[in-house]
A = this chain, B = another copy of it.
Amino acid sequence: MDERPVKAAVLVIGDEILSGRTQDVNIRQIAEFLGPLGITLGEARVVSDVQADIVAALNALRARWDYVFTTGGIGPTHDDITADAVAAAFGRSIDVREDALAILREWYAKSGTELTQARLRMARIPEGAVLIDNPVTGAPGFQIENVFVLAGVPKIARGMLEDIAHRLEGGAVTRSLSIRLEGVREGDIAEILGQAAKDFPAVSTGSYPWFQEREGGELSRGVAVVLRSADDDALEKAGQVLKMQLAAQS
């Protein structure tokens, strides 16, 4: 088992997320996809459809993290500038590429859709990039070095992830263990959790308050305690100790 922590970042590109019009779900979707591969997210950013902002964020993220996944901005319209921005970030040229064009031609021929000038935009791929298969709508994503350029529509992004799983080198797989407590507030258990964080340095300990409305309008509250570790033995031991201590508290 490779114990080196492998960390990735997500770069969400799109004014529609920053305006509040669209709820991003790709950060979470990518985190959930990477977890079982032994890769955790270290950071995420959302930037607008401005080339300088995309380039600056991408260069900061790809220098720091093992992998970067971008979402959004690879469609056929004038505000889809991700491919050009990624090419600029890597200092590579970009143009309509024959392999991408062939995919679009075949896809649109099957569906009887015209391959317009605008749709040709989706065959613009930076020099030397490796294509990523898009099983949902044809137009491919692409990979340059440690950067994976995915669509913004969540179902398409998800389809593309399936094609790149085998290109990713994961680290130790992190497992988690949840303890759900009812009728308890974070402050009631903070000292127990603080002690556990000291006693089990290989285990990360998080606590997340929840509120729930019962039928009849009565409100119940509690805390979900989540332990997370790449060390199964430490996780199990910490879980046993905490369950006992927390049961005594609630």
Contact = CB atoms under 8 A, between A and B. Distances in A.
A118 B44 contact: no
Interface string A110-154: 000100111101100000000000000000000000000000010
A207 interface: yes
A202 B24 CA distance: 26
Interface string A25-50: 10111111001000011111111100
A90 interface: no
Contacts of A207: 75, 77, 79
Contacts of A118: 186-187, 190-191, 194
Nearest to A119: B187
A181 to B, nearest CB: 13
A95 interface: no
Contacts of A228: 19
Interface residues of A, number: 62
B40 A43 contact: no
B119 A206 contact: no
Contacts of A46: 27, 41, 43-45
Interface in A187-233: 187-191, 193-194, 197, 204-209, 211, 226, 228
A30 B22 CA distance: 13
Overall SS of chain A's interface: mixed
A48 B42 contact: yes
A121 B194 CA distance: 12
A236 interface: no
A16 B77 contact: no
A193 B77 contact: yes
A76 B187 contact: yes
Given A116-B187, A187-B76, A44 B45 contact: yes
Give 10 closest A-B pairs by Cβ, nearest first.
A20-B31, A118-B190, A119-B187, A78-B194, A44-B46, A20-B32, A18-B41, A76-B187, A76-B190, A77-B190
